[in-house]
Amino acid sequence: MIIEGIEFSSPDRVVYPDTGITKRELAEYYVAIAPLMLPHMAERPISMVRCPQGQGSKCFYQKHWSHAVPAGVGTVDVRENGGETEPYVFVHNASGLVALVQYGVMEFHTWGTKKDRIESPDRIVFDLDPAPDVKWQRVVDLARELRELLGECGLETWIRTTGGKGLHVVLPIQRTVTWDDVHDFVRLTTAQLIRRHPNELLDVASKARRTGKIFVDFLRNSRGATAIAPWSTRAREGAPVSVPCTWSDLDTLESGDGVNMHAALEFARSLPADPWATMLESRQKLTQKVLEKLLLM
């Protein structure tokens, strides 16, 4: 069969065993959600979680591309931190999303930069990842506190669920700074949060210290690091989705993984407007004054 011009094989293979979602349904989801998803992920280097036989079978994380390049997909050579150069995938359009689903991709993770200027980041992601015993409302409260903190610096943020346990607070910036600048900014911001809540937050991935705390993963913003793409499915039971929403929508959510693929599409179709549309119009910058403001808080 043909979907978005892509020759699609094994369309009736079940890729989410617990829900019965088929490969074709997954591809059709991406075609439907593409108008909302692509403005935030097209032309960006991506890494992928591939599950060739579906979510219930072996899955693996893939950074580099070694196959033929299908329609709607491109590659960009990126110098790795170790000095070698490797090809990364990016997508142009809905055909590219479908082509990668054909290859078994079930998660899309994007860099915080575009392929034309790899060294100039334009998206910052604060990943709020709670331990299993942390109540959801605490994660929501922390996200709103982070929003207020950055708002005091003149910076506007947007929110999405992760399709996992937590939330991502997303900050768009103009491409006027380096990865080192971004790292300094997120490290300082995270330190301010932890100073306010030293017994509730941590900034290192330590299982021994994790109980009862929220991990603020600021390293999502290092060069080469990625974060789940908005509207991407997750390769997890239930087919949860990373859902962009408004800040007021947080009041209606019960968890970061509570919206599955079907519900996400229904939610998207019910939206009066794209909750992230204004992000594309943002022209805010990271400046020395912003850093100085953080230091004085």
pLDDT 10s digits, 219-250: 889 999 999 999 999 999 999 999 999 999 99
Q: Is the dihedral of CA 42, 46, 51, 56 positive or negative?
A: negative
Architecture label for domain 2-118+225-236: Alpha-Beta Complex (3.90)
The residues spanned by each domain of the chain are: 2-118+225-236, 123-223+281-296
- Per residue in 270-288, pLDDT tens? 999 999 999 999 999 999 8
DSSP symbol at 122: -
pLDDT at 207 over 80: no
- Per residue in 113-168, pLDDT tens? 999 999 999 999 999 999 999 999 999 999 999 999 999 999 999 999 999 999 99
Q: Find, among 182, 283, 159, 284, the residue nearest to 230 by Cα.
A: 159
pLDDT at 205 over 80: no
Give the chain's mean pLDDT: 95
- pLDDT band at residue 55, thresholds of 50, 70 and 90? very high
Residue 47 Rama label (left phi>0; alpha psi -120 to 50; beta):
beta
pLDDT for res 291: 85
Q: Name the strand (E) or helix (H) holding 3.
A: strand 2-3
pLDDT for res 37: 98
Average pLDDT over residues 79-93: 93
Q: Do the domains spanning 2-118+225-236 and 123-223+281-296 agree at the CATH topology level?
A: yes
CATH of 123-223+281-296, one of 3.40.50.11780, 3.40.50.720, 3.30.450.20, 3.90.920.10: 3.90.920.10
- pLDDT band at residue 292, thresholds of 50, 70 and 90? confident
pLDDT at 34 over 90: yes
| pLDDT cut 70: percent of the chain above it | 100
User: Which structure tokens are listed for 63?
Assistant: 């950074």
Return d(Cα 96, Cα 153) in angstroms, integer.
38
- Tell me the backbone φ, ψ of residue 133, rounded to 5 degrees: -90, 5
